[in-house]
Amino acid sequence: MNHPALTSVELGGLRLPNRLAVAPMTRVSATPEGVPTPEMADYYAGFARGGFGLVITEGTYTDTVFSQGYFNQPGLTLPEHVAGWRPVTAAVHAEGATMIAQLMHAGALSQGSHYRSNTAGPSALRPGGVQMPEYGGGGTWPVPKEMTEEDIAEAVQGFVTSAKNARAAGFDGVEIHGANGYLLDQFLTDYTNQRADGYGGPIDNRVRLASEVVAAVRAEVGPEFGVGIRLSQTKVNDFTYRWPGGAKDAEIIFTRLAEAGATYLHVASEGRDWIETARLDGGRTLTALAREVTGLPVIANGNMHNLEQASRVIAEGHADLLSIGRGALANPDLPRRLAAGAELDAFDPAILHPMANLANARQWARG
C-alpha cells in the first residue's frame, strides 16, 4: 500500500526507513533494581521485526534520588542498568530498527521507588487525581517536597549521566520526557509550579528547567547524538489542561527547546486523539506550529492507528513522524500490515489490566 508513513525520513541525523515509531510505553517489567530483562529484549525486538523504523523505550529513570516513578521501572543510571540495556539495543538493531531511550524523572507523580519513600516536585502541592493501579499504585499522591536549587541541579545531572549511559548502552539517541505531567511538565504547568524563583512565574521561567536539561544533555553527548524532547498539554492525571497562552506559549516553549539544542520535538496526546489536543485557533495545529517555529522534525501522537488520520497528518504537513502506542501493542507488525494492506487488530485494554507488565500481556496472549 502507498501510505505516506511508509516513506523514509531523517530524524536529527538518523535516517529511518519509515515514519512509524513505537511510542514510549511503561511496562514495569524490569527487576526491582531497574535492570532490563531478556523478556524486554524480545518485546522491543518484536516491534523492530514488525517493521517499525524507530523504537522509543518506556520512560527510564535517571538517578537514584527522586526520579523513579514506579516499582520495576528500568533505570539508566547505574552500571548494571547499562549492562542490562546492551542486549536490548543489540536485539533491536539486529532487526534493523533505530532505538531511542526515553529519560524520565517522575517528580511529584512517583508512585513507587526503590530509593526513596517521599517525592519531590516544583512546589509542595498534592497532585490531582489518583495513582495508576496498572503500574502498581493506588490512592492519592503524596505531597512532594519543594525542590531546592541543589535538588534541581541533581535532577539535571541525572539526565546528563543517563544520556551518557544511554550511548554506552548502544542507544542511537535519547528523548527527554517533558510530557504527561512528570517533573519537567510539572515545572512547565502553571498550577503545579507556584515557585517564586527563576523557575516559576511566566512561561519563560517555567520552561527553564526543560531547556536547561536539553542544553546540559546536548553539551555532554555532543552534536552527533540525537536529543529529542517530548511535550504535551494533557497529563496522566489531567486530560483537559491546555497551555494557558495557547499558540503564544507554544511558540515560546518550542523556540526555547530548539535553541537549547533539541534535535526533534515529540508532541504527545495523553488520553486523547491527536486532533483534540493539537487543534489551535484558525485551523492550525500544535504539531505543524512546532515544525514551522523550529524547522525541526516533529513526531505526532494520539490514535495514529487510525490510518486515515495518520495519512492526513503526514500528507498535510502536520508532522514528520507518527508515534503509535496502543495500536503497536495490538499490532507489533503494524508497518508490515500497512505495507501489505492487511487489516489491523483492535487494541484490547485487557492486555494492560490489571497490570501493564509483560507477564500480564503473556497471560492475555494465552487467552
Ligand X SMILES: Cc1cc2nc3c(=O)[nH]c(=O)nc-3n(C[C@H](O)[C@H](O)[C@H](O)COP(=O)(O)O)c2cc1C
Q: What is the set of active-site residues? A: 182
* Nearest to ligand X of 5, 219 (CB atom): 5
Q: How far is the CB of 304 from ligand X (least distance, A)?
A: 6
* Nearest to ligand X of 281, 308 (CB atom): 308
Q: Which residues pair with 230 in a beta bridge?
A: 177, 266
| Helix residue ranges, H only, 231-316 | 247-259, 274-278, 286-294, 307-315
CB 298 within 8 A of CB 285: no
* Nearest to ligand X of 250, 356 (CB atom): 356
**Closest residue to bound ligand X by CB:** 325
Q: Is 38 exposed, middle or buried (0-12, 13-18, 19+ CB in 10 A)?
A: exposed
> Alpha-carbon distance 84 to 87, whole Å?
7
> Alpha-carbon distance 178 to 48, whole Å?
25
Q: How far is the CB of 326 from ligand X (least distance, A)?
A: 4
* Nearest to ligand X of 23, 210 (CB atom): 23
With a CB cutoff of 8 Å and minimum separation 6, the contacts of 270 are 179, 180, 181, 232, 234, 235, 236, 239, 277
Find, among 363, 334, 340, the residue nearest to 47 by Cα: 334
Q: How far is the CB of 359 from ligand X (least distance, A)?
A: 14
* Nearest to ligand X of 81, 326 (CB atom): 326
Q: How far is the CB of 149 from ligand X (least distance, A)?
A: 27
**Could you list the residues that contact ligand X (CB under 6 A)?**
23-26, 58-59, 102, 177, 179-180, 230, 268-270, 301-304, 324-327, 352, 356
CB 178 within 8 A of CB 210: yes
Q: How far is the CB of 237 from ligand X (least distance, A)?
A: 13
Strand 298-301 to strand 321-324: parallel, antiparallel, or no bridges (unpaired)? parallel
> Alpha-carbon distance 2 to 21, whole Å?
18
Of the chain, the end-to-end C-alpha distance in Å amounts to 31
